[in-house]
Structure 1
Amino acid sequence: MTSPWRRRCSEDQTGQGRPEAGAPGQGLPALLHRVALGDEAAFGRLYDVIAGPVFGVVRRVVLDRAQAEEVTQEVLLEIWRGAARYRPERGQVLPWVLTIAHRRAVDRVRAAQAAVDRDRREAVAAYTRPYDEVAERVAARADQELVRRCLRELTEVQRQSIALAYYGGYSQAQVAELLGTPLGTVKTRTRDGLIRMRDALTAEARRAPGRPAAFRRRTV
Structure 2
Amino acid sequence: MEAPVVDDRLLHQRVVGGDEAALGELYDRFAALIFGLAVRVTRDRAVAEDIAQEVFVTFWERPLAYDPERGSLRAWLATIAHRRAVDHVRAEERRKVSVLGPRVYERPGELEDTVLAADEATRVREAVATLPDALRAVIELAYYQGRTYRQVAEELAIPEGTAKSRIRLGLRKLAESLGGEQP
Which of 2, 5, 15 is equivalent to 1:35?
15
Task: State the structure with bigger RCO (CA 8 A, min sep 6), 1 or 2.
Answer: 2
Cα contact 1:29–1:88 (8 A) shared by 2: yes
Would the aligned equivalents of 2:37 and 2:78 in 1 still touch at CA under 8 Å?
yes
Work out whether residues 48 and 85 of structure 2, in 8 Å CA contact, stay in contact via their aligned partners in 1: yes
Contact 1:35–1:83 (CA<8 Å) still a contact in 2? yes
Unpaired segments ≥5 residues, structure 2: 108-183
Matched, 1:89 2:13: no
* Alpha-carbon distance between aligned partners in 2 of 1:83 and 1:73, rounded to the nearest angstrom: 15
Question: What are the equivalent positions in structure 2 for 1:62-81 lying under 5 Å apart?
Answer: 62-81=42-61
Kindly provide the amino acid, as one letter, of the partner of residue 86 in structure 2: V
Per the alignment, residue 178 of structure 2 pairs with none
Shift of the 80–117 alpha-carbon distance from structure 1 to 2, 3 Å rule, reads: same
State whether structure 2 residue 24 is matched by structure 1 residue 44. yes
Indicate whether 1:108 and 2:88 are aligned. Answer: yes
Percent of residue pairs bearing the same amino acid type = 44
Count of aligned positions = 105
Which portions of structure 1, spanning 4 or more consecutive aligned residues, are displaced by more than 4 angstroms? none
Q: CA RMSD in A?
A: 2.4
* Cα offsets for 1:141-189 (capped at 9, x unmatched): xxxxxxxxxxxxxxxxxxxxxxxxxxxxxxxxxxxxx752439xxxxxx
Q: CA deviation at 1:47?
A: 0.8
How far apart are 1:115 and its partner, in Å?
0.5
Asked if structure 2 preserves the Cα contact closer than 8 Å seen for 1:33 and 1:84, the reply is no
> Residue 182 of structure 1 aligns with which residue?
106
1:65-100 per-position Cα deviation (integer Å, ceiling 9, x unaligned): 111111111111111112111111101111111111
SS in 2 for 1:180: coil
- In 2, Cα distance between equivalents of 1:79 and 1:90: 16
Structure 1 gap ranges (5+): 1-22, 122-177, 184-220
Letter of the aligned partner of 2:72 in structure 1?
Answer: Q
2:122 matched to which residue of 1?
Answer: none
Q: Determine which structure has more spread, i.e. the larger CA radius of gyration.
A: 1
Which position in structure 2 is the counterpart of 1:168? none
Q: 2:34 aligns with which of 38, 54, 57?
A: 54
CA distance in 2 between counterparts of 1:179 and 1:49 reads: 41
In structure 1, what is the Cα distance between the partners aligned to 2:103 and 2:27?
A: 44
Indicate the SS of the match to 2:43.
coil
Asked if the contact 2:55–2:80 (Cα under 8 Å) also holds between the matched residues in 1, the reply is: yes
Tell me, yes or no, if the aligned pair for 2:97 and 2:103 is still in contact at 8 Å: no
